[in-house]
Amino acid sequence: MNNPNIVIIGAGYGGIMTAVKLQKSLNVNEANITLVNKHSYHYQTTWLHENAAGTLHHDRTRMQINDLIDTSKINFVQDTVTKVQPDDKKVLLENGELSYDYLVVGLGFEAATFGIQGLKENAFTISSINSARLIRQHIEYNFAKYNNEADKKEERLNLVVGGAGFTGIEFVGELANRVPELCKEYDVPREKVRIINVEAAPTALPGFDPELVEYAMNSLEARGVEFKIGAMIKEVTEDKLIFEKDEKREEISTNTVVWAAGVQGNSLIVDAGFETNRGRIPVRGDLRAPNYDDVFVVGDCALIMNEETERPYPPTAQIAIQQAEHTAENLKKLVQGNNHLESFTPEIQGTVASLGHNDAIGVVFDDKKLFGWSASAMKKLIDNRYLLKLGGIGLVLKKGKLNFFK
């Protein structure tokens, strides 16, 4: 019998970790493994807000895929998936096609814009190295442009972030650190710059412990972040954002709106005809797609329910990595002729949100709350642990966050 073809699409947390685990657990003569990704590099999505604000260079966030995998065991194809055809067991690429016996879908997320007028056309999203670099350059350009115009335009210096969830809060935290540097570099008075965080829910960081939320808001406000809470964004144009709060419409003149208020699974999975729920595939216990025994789904494309809360788990890197490790184990079983697959249960080890250099909030080890430096150090440890799993101590030394005081 021929070796089975395992095709992994997407080399984010879910895809790359599946590949790295499989290369350790399977011999070359047991399966043909192909990893497809649109870029030559893997990036840490959880650091993109730092790249977007300009507090961390994007080269720290990305790493070449060929340096992470054993190319004698895994065939890396740099290409863009254009269509998945699960009934034909095929993946179409911009430059070819692949047939599979087993498919791992790890194509990640895209922004959910909820039909808000002008948002798709006029707002930025933090979703890749390219989009983060664009935001950084756009903000810098506006600071540089400000003093070159006779009529100084306030929209150049009003930085608006849509959403005060995890990503929105982490991004405004970085902006709060970056803005004073930009003001100095471009001779712009600090009081001219506004960082405005607009959130529709009645609180920032919905779902977080109220004490942590209060700490986060106080810390950010002290560094100049303005919150508009309970404010529903209605429209975004080239030079303003319109929102409704307490039944009143208000406008902020801005040409920088960064949307961080919602994600859904990659739209290719809807186009492929998989059953989806809110743009994600409600996977079975063993992480296979409904009706397809040969398709595993990891990361933000997968929807898994939390039995305790009866709500879906929020998509996180933490869960994507665990799903990848689990899927590699299950694939190994299938390849070796064992059809008894294990069910997946996430082990939530904690959640830590950064508020900028040296500051963060989080809950770890079930219910231990962390604030400030200790939370920030914990976040760095979590990040370094991922790098250790992915590429050993060498990768930690090269890309890790080793300065716990910055």
Residue type, 280: R
Tokens of 89: 């067991």
Residues 6+ apart with CB under 8 A from 173: 220, 354, 355, 356, 359
What is the nearest approach in angstroms of ligand FAD to the Cβ of residue 162? 13
Q: Which is nearer to ligand FAD, 268 or 370 (CB)?
A: 268
What is the nearest approach in angstroms of ligand FAD to the Cβ of residue 11? 5
Q: Which is nearer to ligand FAD, 39 or 153 (CB)?
A: 39
Q: Where are the beta strands (DSSP E) in 38-133?
A: 41-43, 62-64, 74-78, 81-85, 90-93, 96-99, 102-105, 109-111, 124-125
Q: Is the dihedral of CA 362, 368, 373, 376 positive or negative?
A: negative
The answer to whether the beta carbons of residues 296 and 8 sit under 8 Å apart is no
| Catalytic residue of the set 94, 155, 170, 174 | 170
- What number of CA atoms fall less than 13 Å from residue 281's CA on the CB side? 32
Q: Which is nearer to ligand FAD, 256 or 318 (CB)?
A: 318
Q: Which is nearer to ligand FAD, 84 or 116 (CB)?
A: 84
Q: Which of 120, 138, 121 is nearest to 52 (CA)?
A: 138
Q: Which is nearer to ligand FAD, 3 or 316 (CB)?
A: 316
- Which residue's C-beta sits nearest to ligand FAD? 12
Residue type, 239: D
What is the nearest approach in angstroms of ligand FAD to the Cβ of residue 319? 7
Distance, in Å, from the CA atom of 375 to the CA atom of 359, rounded to the nearest integer, reads 7
251 is catalytic: no
CA-based Rg of the chain, rounded to a whole angstrom? Answer: 22
Q: Helix or strand or coil: residue 170?
A: helix
Distance, in Å, from the CA atom of 349 to the CA atom of 97, rounded to the nearest integer, reads 39
Containing 129, the helix (H) or strand (E) segment is: helix 129-146
Q: Which is nearer to ligand FAD, 118 or 315 (CB)?
A: 315
Q: Which is nearer to ligand FAD, 95 or 147 (CB)?
A: 95
What is the nearest approach in angstroms of ligand FAD to the Cβ of residue 327? 11
Tokens of 387: 């790098």
The answer to whether the beta carbons of residues 330 and 355 sit under 8 Å apart is no
Chain residues that interact with ligand FAD, rule: CB under 6 A: 10-15, 36-39, 45-46, 48-49, 80-81, 106-109, 126, 166-167, 170, 266, 268, 299-300, 315-318, 320
Q: Show which residues are catalytic.
A: 170
